[in-house]
Amino acid sequence: MKKIFLLFVLISIHSYAQKTQQIANIGDFTTIKGAIIKDCKVGYQTLGKLNEAKSNAILFPTYFSGKSNDIKASAIAWVDTTQFFVILVDALGNGISSAPSNTDNFPEISIRDMVNSQYTLLTKQLSINHLHAVMGVSMGGMQTFEWMVAYPDFMNKAIPIVGTPKQSYYDVLLWKTEWDAIEAAGMNPDARREAMRRVAEIHNLHLFTPIFWNKSRKSEDAYTAIQKAGDDYVKSNHPENWIAQIKAMLGQDIYQSSGKTLLEMPNYLKAKTLIIVSIQDQMVNPLAAINFAKTLNISTLELTGDCGHVATACESDKVKEAVRAFL
């Protein structure tokens, strides 16, 4: 989610080997519904060095509305980039990769489309035909779940973090409410951009728990903070990009996309998996991921603090320890 990693301690990124933002043109890309994105672009950045055997690559897709720059700090914190080659990839619809804001007649996309575009980037542009791991946070976790069923033999390990294999009723209620807040503004582009103020209020209401907000903020500061958040969302987010990725998340269901039931998954999935959830998550409900893990006897890290969806930042040391050991 937008800027959810601001709570991380300051890290000197410049001390790590890395490349700046890159854009790959993967050609005309066909979505699962048959629409075509002409000259489809996929943005990415890399950390670390790919070894000669190309066996140390980790794919790290972005969270909802996030860009690869936004997830760089978490990748550095959680992954040993002296050992692994991390590919931070901008999901379709975020404004760095092809999106409504930079592509005429941009079609409806799905989480599977995001994954398929990344597969093309890896295999056709980077000549990487197998990954050590796929990992991601929030919508990045949803993409990780989708990678597990779309290309089960492509990675050794998978780490979906505060993601879900299938949207719950509560998730649908949240995303549809944010979408409706934009649509209610009508078709005027300026009005739709201004509607991002309402989206900011809805979004930030769900990022943390009530306990966190009440312990960390004074009520008399609420109006100023709400105004500031609204200003930031209007400036930083394109409403049509926001809707495009919401639509993708609303359709997230790995059982439907794979044609496999939960009980069939053990014979279908190949990657060794670690699932990380936040028990008090009010943005991506954790129950579907927990049920998935319990049914398939998958290792799970449960974050239990008051930070809700942003538990990965508040409890970053726990995530780091679990991820590094698992990798």
pLDDT digits (tens, 9 = 90+) for 76-102: 999 999 999 999 999 999 999 999 999
List the structure tokens of 280. Answer: 């008090």
The angle formed by the CA atoms of residues 186, 113 and 21, to the nearest 5 degrees, is 85
DSSP 253: B
Cα 311 from Cα 25, distance rounded (Å): 35
Tens digits of per-residue pLDDT, 101-127? Answer: 999 999 999 999 999 999 999 999 999
The amino acid occupying position 173 is L
pLDDT at position 78, please?
Answer: 98
pLDDT one-digit tens code per residue, 231-263: 999 999 999 999 999 999 999 999 999 999 999
Query: If 0-12 CB within 10 Å is exposed, 13-18 middle and 19+ buried, where does residue 115 land?
Result: buried
What strand order describes the sheet that includes 131-137?
Answer: 22-25, 41-47, 85-89, 57-61, 131-137, 155-161, 272-278, 299-303
pLDDT of residue 19: 55
Buried b (16+ CB within 10 A) or exposed e, 158-173: bbbbbbbbbbeeebee
Q: Residue 126, class by beta-carbon neighbours within 10 Å (0-12 exposed, 13-18 middle, 19+ buried)? A: middle
The fold of the 20-165+252-326 domain, in CATH, is Rossmann fold (3.40.50)
- 272-278 vs 299-303, strand pairing mode: parallel
- What would the mean pLDDT of 171-183 be, rounded to a whole number? 98
**Domain ranges (residues) in the chain:** 20-165+252-326, 170-245
Cα–Cα nearest to 118, from 58, 51, 36, 53: 58
What is the model's pTM? 0.94
Burial 24-35 (b: 16+ CB within 10 A, else e): bebeebebeeee
Q: Is 106 helix (H, G, I), strand (E, B) or coil?
A: coil
Place of tokens 């649509």: 183
Instruction: Read off the pLDDT of each residue in 284-305 and give the average, rounded to a whole number.
Output: 98
- Taking the C-alpha atoms of residue 140 and residue 249, their distance in angstroms, rounded to an integer, is 11
